[in-house]
Amino acid sequence: MTSAQPPVSNDFWRTTRRSFTAMIRRDGFGLLALVVLALVILGPLYSVVLWAFAERWRYPSLIPTEFGFKFWEQTFSRADIAAALPFSIVLSLVVTALSALICLPASYAFARMRFRGRQALLLSFLATNAFPRFGLYISIAVIFFRLNLIGTVPGVIMIQLVNTLLLMIWIPTAAFQGIDRSLEEAALDVGASPLRVFIQITLPMVMPALSAALLLTFVNTFYEAQGALLIGLPRIVTMPVLMYSLINSQLVTQYGAIVSFVLWLPSLLLLLVAQKLLRGGYLTAGFGV
């Protein structure tokens, strides 16, 4: 990738549709990028997926020496994993629900109401991104330490909530702002009450954005490891936190691989709707872009 020419050639601008062979001939950069990216991006994951289904894998074989599910049983019969997985799921659901409860009414106000300082207050949520994350966690941890919130569920919930604010405010705010007001006026005009307009007209139209915000928040929270590690240990162990110890102790390679594989499933959910998220501009909205 690094050796690539700046790929600004006539071809990108002048030609629209190309035959496949002509494309390969002309789209040299694309092909190069494709091959390199495939190796770099998919290579590491290749090892994880195969390790998850390997009974035995001796060096220097490219694929496992023996495939099998033996370690799956072992993995999920481990007490720590059996406890952490449901806990992680419930925790993420709770955090997502709380975040929605706190943020959605606010995002409606930001989008629709006129009040002094609206723009500045909305922008202030960028602060969640403007600190070096781990430094901020340390500051919070010091306070939680004195409040005895270290190693408690409320402590973990709070630190994870901080991470969800920007996304849960900015995406819905943009969605509410994006709705043409005359669509609501038209409903008022045919006799619907303001509440009915909100429920039957406004809400269905912001639903794609709201579900994107909820989904992204859930997945982000599910994978959040640093805050949970710092605030949660030793009593609260989420799946990602457990991964740290699985990696560090390196008992059985397969444990880590299987947990990684299982942990990765919610992300697959996101991957499936990635095109939609991308088109709606939701992926970048979480960064305040």
**Interface of this chain with other proteins, residues 241 to 280, rule: CB under 8 A:** 243-244, 247-248, 253, 256-257, 260, 263-264, 267-268, 270-271, 274, 278
Q: Which of residues 30-69 bind other proteins (CB under 8 A)?
A: 30-31, 33-34, 37-38, 40-48, 51, 59-62
Question: Is 21 a binder of other proteins (CB under 8 A)?
Answer: no
User: Would you count residue 225 as binding other proteins (CB under 8 A)?
Assistant: yes
Nearer to other proteins, 74 or 270 (CB): 270
* Choices 19-27, 65-73, 74-82, 83-91 (CB under 8 A): range interacting with other proteins: 19-27
Q: Which residue has the tokens 């390969």?
A: 24
CA 130/CA 155 separation, integer angstroms: 22
Q: Are 242 and 81 in contact (CB under 8 A)?
A: yes
The reply on whether position 27 binds other proteins by CB under 8 A is yes
Instruction: Closer to other proteins by CB, 24 or 90: give it.
Output: 24
Q: How many residues bind other proteins (CB under 8 A)?
A: 132
Q: Decide if residue 126 touches other proteins (CB under 8 A).
A: yes
Can you tell me which residue has the tokens 């710092």? 230
Indicate whether 159 belongs to the interface with other proteins (CB under 8 A): yes
Q: Which stretch binds other proteins (CB under 8 A): 64-72, 78-86, 88-96, 179-187?
A: 179-187
Counting contacts by CB under 8 A, is residue 108 touching other proteins?
yes
Site for other proteins contains 127 (CB under 8 A): yes
CB 84 within 8 A of CB 239: yes
Bridge partners (DSSP) listed for residue 54: 67
The mark string for 65-94 relative to other proteins (x by CB under 8 A, - otherwise) is ------------------------------
Q: Tell me how many degrees the CA angle 192-169-95 measures, rounded to the nearest 5.
A: 105
Euclidean distance between CA atoms 28 and 36, whole angstroms:
12
Q: Is 73 helix (H, G, I), strand (E, B) or coil?
A: helix
Q: What is the DSSP string of 183-243?
A: HHHHHHHTT--HHHHIIIIIHHHHHHHHHHHHHHHHHHHHH--HHHHHHHTTT---HHHHH
Report if residue 211 touches other proteins, rule: CB under 8 A. no
